[in-house]
Amino acid sequence: MSQAVGNTALAYARVWHHVDATDRVLGKLAERIALVLMGKHKPIYDPSVDCGDYVIVTNSKKVKVTGRKAEQVLFRKHSMYPGGLKETPYKDMMVKNPDEIIRRAVSGMLPKNKLRERRLERLKIFPAHRMGILGANIMRSWDDGTLPANFDPSIPTTSETLKMLKEQQQKST
**Is 132 in the same domain as 156?**
no
**61 with 105, same domain?**
yes
Give the pLDDT score at 1.
46
CATH number of the domain within which 129 lies: 3.90.1180.10
pLDDT digits (tens, 9 = 90+) for 103-122: 999 999 999 999 999 999 99
pLDDT at 12: 79
Handedness of CA 157, 160, 161, 167 (dihedral sign): positive
Q: Which residues of 136-155 are buried (b: 16+ CB within 10 A; e: fewer)?
A: ebbeebbbeeeebeeeeeee
The verdict on 103 and 134 lying in the same domain is yes
Specify whether 101 is located in the same domain as 168: no
pLDDT at 132 over 70: yes
What range does the domain containing 47 cover? Answer: 12-65+94-139
pLDDT digits over 40-86, tens only? Answer: 988 889 999 899 999 999 999 999 999 999 999 999 999 999 999 99
Of residues 146 and 74, more confidence is placed in 74
Q: Is 81 inside a domain boundary? A: no
Residue type for 99, please? Answer: D
Does residue 110 share a domain with residue 133? yes
Alpha-carbon distance of 20 to 26, in angstroms, equals: 12
**pLDDT exceeding 70 applies to what percent of the chain?**
82
Distance from the first to the final alpha carbon of the chain: 60
| Structural domains counted in the chain | 2
131 is a domain residue? yes
